[in-house]
Amino acid sequence: MDASAFGRRFLFGVNVMYMLKTSADFDSAHFLFGYNGKCANIHGHHWVIEVMINSEALVQNGEKRGMVIDFGNLKHEVRALADSFDHSLIFESGTLKNKTLEALREEKFSLIEVMFRPTAENFARHFYYILKEKGLPIKSVAVYETPDNCAVYEEG
């Protein structure tokens, strides 16, 4: 923690936190197997991943002095994550017949198989852990499947 943050916490009991936020978007299709409604059919979204990182302290030395992290590094990781899902059919493991998968692969469609139901809630948790494993100080991940609707995942 930097000295000014320590001083404010010690003297005033204030919890000091720096936060950075960035986002990236991608287009993909999915469906919700076993759902009783329109979302049981293959449909697409313009997904937005919004990532918030936090830190009690800023870097004290070197070229990144005064930063939580380099925004460029944060943006790069979030953009790469979004790009890895772009223009794909995302489906839950075990929900498509082998014949269907063979046909889609033969047509060279981009397919992403996940081990969870592909909901915004599950994507938020999934993306949180992917970015956390990269060493980012993740506070929360929001996943928008429409401009007005999002799911947020954060831990404790």
CB 69 within 8 A of CB 136: yes
DSSP calls for 7-59 = HHHHHH-----EEEEEEEEEEEEE--TT-SSGGGS-EEEEEEEEEEEEESS--
Please report how many Cα atoms fall inside a 13 Å half-sphere around the Cα of residue 146, on the Cβ side.
Answer: 3
| Catalytic sites, residue numbers | 39, 87, 145
Length of the chain: 156
Please enumerate in sequence order all residues whose Cβ is within 8 A of that of 1, keeping only pairs 6 or more positions apart, or say none.
9, 16, 56, 57
Q: How far apart are CA 67 and CA 23, in angstroms?
A: 18
